[in-house]
Structure 1
Amino acid sequence: MTVLRTQYDVLLLDLDGTLYAGAHAIPGTQAALGQGTQALYYVTNNASRSPSAVSAHLTELGFDSEDDRVVTSSQTAVRLLAERLEPGAAVLVVGTDALADEVTRVGLLPVREFADSPVAVVQGHSTETNWSILAEACLAIRAGALWVAANLDTTLPSERGLVLGNGSMVAALRAATRQEPLVAGKPAAPLMEDALARSGCSRPLVVGDRLDTDIEGAHAVSIDSLLVLTGVSTPGDVLRAPIEQRPTYIAATLDSLNQPAVESLVGADSKWSVSVNGSALVVDGPVVGDEMSLLRAVAPVAWANPSFQTLEASDAGVADLFASWLV
């Protein structure tokens, strides 16, 4: 049987929640990625660090990385600005110095105050973002400045759990300005388009942990995707996924890349019979194999019947799994 990764020439890999959580690699990810010959490109919505800093962190954690194989939402955000502004235009930066450096790289002038007459605002994740800089951005946007957000991730995985992401800060400015930003990162297409262009691939696979960014981003550019349940999205999220967030493959870990593709492909499985009874999805069959194969079998039926309310099973083990999925 064909190994999953061998069907593709490039893996477009998410970082937070897929390869690592905070400062620590997710166990087994380095070994899983090291078993193939596909080019590895790292595509991240996190705009807080430079590509070289991201690459250095990946190398420190044991991943094969180079600066030019890191594609960040900050790079895409400033590309969108450069395409729309005159050289030397002032851009108010809500984010880290690394984001400001990207603004400089494309020939624009990073500023931090409304008094400097910015014609645009660029916003990316920073743990230092506070009321003062949001107030400066609010004044600029309300005065007509172009607003570009690196991403709309409401949360960010960390060693302690989910914490505020850039999207939560974007929401504050949206509420204060009643404006919508131009979005660079996943699930919007621009970041994925930059990754595709950079890699020069012909058969790419997106790999990530979030339905609403990684998987939807893959749909935005019409390419296959693998969801790994090591970060944000859960089995319950999968069953409720709208059409633009449905992955090609689902797996517990990245090691699925080195297993037969059919074992991760979403679809019916002969181990179980899945039917619909009113508002319930009913599974006939015992717990055979693993939780992921059951999820891959149930998902298409759930997607075809999005108004389902409950999951039912005669087998106690399956029923217990269902209870954990829908909490």
Structure 2
Amino acid sequence: MSRLSQEFDAVYFDLDGVLYRGLVAVTGAAETVSELVRSGCTVAYVTNNASRTPGEVASHLHELGIPAAANEVITSSQVAVQILGKHAPVGSRVFVVGGVGVEQALLDAGFIASRDPRDCVAVVQGFGPLVSWDDLAQASYLIQGGAIWIATNLDSTIPTQVGIAPGNGSFVTAVRNAVGREPDGVGGKPDRSMMEQTMAAFPAEAPLLVGDRYDTDVAAGIAAGMSTMLVLSGVSTPADVWASKIRAGYLGESVQDLITEYVGPQKSTDGYCCGEAKAEYLVTESVVRATGGTRLERLRAADSLKWSLVEHVGLDPFAGGHISLDLGEQ
């Protein structure tokens, strides 16, 4: 056994639900990142949350004991503004929906960032805790009038220290319902643009993307051809792991699993095992049952068995009768 971190020369971290939830650090996040940095591993922060500037994000990470510099942070606002540049000339007046992160990214790129919709030729829509109905309505009116529409990201939810809250994707859906069309571009994960920018800024031979969502983080890593790790400290649950139609290369309870001894799943005579856990497919019950070991070991074994059924047996857990998962939890 070895530490998972030893297999990679760069780790790109998502933030919300991975290193922190709201204002509170995920347990072990500071220790994990600090150890990676000490070992010489390249670390970068790649967030779909558009509400803050890279400097503000870095300051927040520092407050949580996590080493970070502003130039190590890539936000979906920055990528969205790059995409906007393909549709509108620098100097164009752009209506801002979202926090200061959206506004500053526009200003840094030479656009006129406006909270007044008059004379705006484009809309950049990102997350902000003070986004209002009027913001969404004014954006909708502009888009219906022909304005370019760029969304920073499509995350439907965002994890906080209190619970799961609506994310920018929920607000984008509201505007989509009003205007009857899709955005002209999306900056954040899973779009390739964000990871291409990250890899250009922080090149590596063996990078790992760590996130808490399949639909954005894991999908982005797969699209970019890099290894992925899904952690259960944010949005995703074991049920999401089982239901996902794409596969994360590694599963962890949190980022701490990067720097602890990694116990990987192994094929056994009747299924898969992982540490003290084993997973079997019970045909008559149409269930994959995992027993023994820790929850994470059971989940790793069950996930490997699921994908073995898909890839080698031709069985589709998602179709027809549906194969359920039993992790031995009530």
TM-score where L is the length of structure 2: 0.88
Could you tell me how far 1:81 is from its partner in structure 2?
0.9
Q: Structure 1 unaligned segments of length 5 or more: list them.
A: 313-317
Q: 1:121 is matched with which residue: 117, 120, 123?
A: 123
CA RMSD of aligned residues (A): 1.9
Could you tell me how far 1:273 is from its partner in structure 2?
4.5
Distance 1:145 1:279 in 2: 55
Q: SS of 1:269's equivalent?
A: strand
User: What does 1:288-303 correspond to in 2, within 5 Å?
Assistant: 289-303=293-307
For these two proteins, the number of residue pairs brought into alignment is: 310
Distance 1:12 1:147 in 2: 28
* Worse-superposed segment, 301-310 or 61-70: 301-310
Distance 1:56 1:94 in 2: 23
1:315 match? none
2:12 match? 12
Q: 1:96 is matched with which residue: 90, 95, 99?
A: 99
User: What does 1:42-61 correspond to in 2, within 5 Å?
Assistant: 42-61=45-64
Distance 1:156 1:265 in 2: 30
- CA 230–87 in structure 1, closer or farther in 2 if over 3 Å, else same: same
- CA 264–157 in structure 1, closer or farther in 2 if over 3 Å, else same: farther
- CA 236–120 in structure 1, closer or farther in 2 if over 3 Å, else same: same
Could you tell me how far 1:101 is from its partner in structure 2?
1.7
Distance 2:279 2:17 in 1: 32
- TM-superposition CA deviations, 1:115-172 (whole Å, max 9, x none): 22x2211001011111212121111111121111111111111111011111111011
Paired AA for residue 14 in structure 1: D
Report if aligned partners of 2:279, 2:291 keep a CA contact under 8 Å in 1.
Answer: no
Distance 1:94 1:134 in 2: 7
Distance 1:97 1:44 in 2: 15
Report if aligned partners of 1:249, 1:265 keep a CA contact under 8 Å in 2.
Answer: no
Report if aligned partners of 1:215, 1:247 keep a CA contact under 8 Å in 2.
Answer: yes
Distance 1:179 1:282 in 2: 41
Report if aligned partners of 1:266, 1:296 keep a CA contact under 8 Å in 2.
Answer: no
- CA 235–29 in structure 1, closer or farther in 2 if over 3 Å, else same: same
Tell me whether 1:64 sits opposite 2:67 in the alignment: yes
Report if aligned partners of 2:279, 2:305 keep a CA contact under 8 Å in 1.
Answer: no
Q: 1:218 is matched with which residue: 210, 217, 221?
A: 221
Could you tell me how far 1:276 is from its partner in structure 2?
4.3
Could you tell me how far 1:114 is from its partner in structure 2?
3.1
User: What does 1:1-327 correspond to in 2, within 5 Å?
Assistant: 1-36=1-36, 37=39, 38-116=41-119, 118-181=120-183, 182-243=185-246, 246-261=247-262, 263-264=263-264, 268-269=272-273, 271-278=277-284, 280-283=286-289, 286-287=291-292, 289-303=293-307, 304=310, 305-307=317-319, 308-311=322-325, 318-319=327-328, 321=329, 324=330
Q: SS of 1:92's equivalent?
A: strand
Q: SS of 1:272's equivalent?
A: strand
Distance 1:282 1:13 in 2: 31
Paired AA for residue 8 in structure 1: F
Could you tell me how far 1:258 is from its partner in structure 2?
1.5
Could you tell me how far 1:297 is from its partner in structure 2?
1.1
Distance 1:90 1:278 in 2: 63
Could you tell me how far 1:311 is from its partner in structure 2?
3.5
Q: SS of 2:95's equivalent?
A: strand
TM-score where L is the length of structure 1: 0.89
Could you tell me how far 1:279 is from its partner in structure 2?
6.1
Q: SS of 2:239's equivalent?
A: helix
Q: SS of 2:229's equivalent?
A: strand
* Worse-superposed segment, 265-274 or 21-30: 265-274
Could you tell me how far 1:274 is from its partner in structure 2?
1.4
Distance 1:103 1:265 in 2: 46
Could you tell me how far 1:20 is from its partner in structure 2?
0.6
- TM-superposition CA deviations, 1:79-136 (whole Å, max 9, x none): 11123321211111111233112111111111223322x2211001011111212121
- CA 291–141 in structure 1, closer or farther in 2 if over 3 Å, else same: same
